[in-house]
């Protein structure tokens, strides 16, 4: 497989809402980890610290988990749509108890998933 073949199989990465600026505000090591994980998603692979996000009924909405000395960070993306990988939300998990994603973050993910669906159909 040549370079041209590989480039043909790389899905476009689309940032929904403020997800890109939210990622850029995170520590450099978290940005590096999430960047690598998202690249793997673009080529159809899955990063080791990626798991399906509960509440979406399938493995089409995924969460990258990174815990550092400065906190717990998450990036949520979807591969539900064939044309691209959509980054839905990047955030620092503030809860000190439980593993569940906080409701305000889940609400934002649901809203951005709907927005990604419209974008995948060419709607604004």
pLDDT in tens, the chain (124 residues): 455 554 558 899 999 999 999 999 999 999 999 999 999 999 999 999 999 998 887 778 999 999 888 889 999 999 998 889 999 999 998 765 667 788 899 999 999 999 999 999 888 7
Which position has the token pair 């815990």? 67
Return the pLDDT at 54.
87
Cα dihedral sign for 16, 18, 24, 25? negative
Cα dihedral sign for 62, 112, 88, 97? negative
Return the pLDDT at 42.
94
Give the integer Cα–Cα distance in Å for 44 and 48: 13
Return the pLDDT at 8.
59
Return the pLDDT at 1.
47
Give the integer Cα–Cα distance in Å for 75 and 73: 7
Return the pLDDT at 97.
61
Give the integer Cα–Cα distance in Å for 103 and 111: 12
Q: Which strand (E) or helix (H) includes residue 12? A: strand 12-15
Give the integer Cα–Cα distance in Å for 78 and 87: 7
Report pTM. Answer: 0.89
Q: Any idea how long the chain is?
A: 124
């Amino acid at each position: 497989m040549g370079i041209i073949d590989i480039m043909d199989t790389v899905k476009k990465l689309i940032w929904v809402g403020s997800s890109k600026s939210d990622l850029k505000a995170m520590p450099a090591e978290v940005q590096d980890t999430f960047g690598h994980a998202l690249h793997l998603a673009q080529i159809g692979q899955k990063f080791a610290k990626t798991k399906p996000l509960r509440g979406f009924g399938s493995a089409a909405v995924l969460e990258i988990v990174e815990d550092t000395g400065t906190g717990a960070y998450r990036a949520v993306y979807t591969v539900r749509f064939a044309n691209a990988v959509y980054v839905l939300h990047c955030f620092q998990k503030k809860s000190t108890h439980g593993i569940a994603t906080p409701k305000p973050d889940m609400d934002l993910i649901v809203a951005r998933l709907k927005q990604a669906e419209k974008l995948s159909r060419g709607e604004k």
